[in-house]
């Protein structure tokens, strides 16, 4: 199994966001420290401040959420997803745009991690 780890500020809030807004399935939860969610073949580890991964590095740096690296969630009808995304109060980092490969929209989760929603075509 391969997975992507996102650092989140609040595991419960992250679970609700990924489950309710982006239709991920909750696979496992380890108290307030960490949860695992899945969307199709994408497995996402949501690591909170109490997880072992959030402990300081050897250099003393504390891992944190945010940045422009992102997961891509494909959808068959991006425009139909917009009302639900807007109703959920999602921060839109890159508005809906269409390029040669398809349409994309970049939002962020409650901790500031970017998620790209992409429709091929």
User: What architecture is domain 4-120?
Assistant: Roll (3.10)
Relative to beta strand 102-108, strand 25-30 is unpaired
Contact between 51 and 33 under an 8 Å Cβ cutoff? The reply is yes
Q: Is 12 helix (H, G, I), strand (E, B) or coil?
A: helix
The rounded distance, in Å, linking the Cα atoms of 45 and 28 is 9
DSSP string computed for 49-103: TTSGGGS--TTSPPP-S-SS-EEEEE-S-HHHHHHHHHHTT-EEEEEEEEETTEE
> What is this structure's pTM?
0.83
Q: Tell the residue number behind the tokens 């899945």, with chain if given.
A: 38
Relative to beta strand 91-99, strand 4-7 is unpaired
β-strand partners of 25 = 38
Q: Extract the tokens encoding 92.
A: 């839109």
Q: What is the pLDDT of residue 27?
A: 98
Domain boundaries, the chain: 4-120
pLDDT tens by residue, the chain, 121 residues: 689 999 999 999 999 999 999 999 999 999 999 999 999 999 999 999 999 888 888 888 888 888 888 999 999 999 999 999 999 999 999 999 998 889 999 999 999 999 999 999 8
């Amino acid at each position: 199994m391969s997975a992507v780890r996102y650092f989140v500020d609040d595991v419960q809030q992250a679970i609700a966001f990924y489950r309710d807004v982006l239709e991920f399935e909750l696979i496992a939860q380890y108290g307030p420290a960490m949860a695992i969610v899945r969307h199709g073949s994408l497995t996402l580890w949501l690591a909170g401040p109490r997880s072992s991964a959030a402990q300081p590095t050897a250099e003393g740096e504390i891992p944190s959420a945010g940045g422009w690296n992102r997961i891509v969630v494909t959808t068959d009808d991006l425009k139909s997803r917009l009302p639900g995304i807007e109703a959920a109060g999602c921060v839109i980092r890159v508005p809906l745009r269409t390029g040669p490969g398809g349409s994309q929209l970049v939002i962020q989760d409650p901790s500031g991690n970017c998620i790209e929603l992409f429709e091929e075509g």
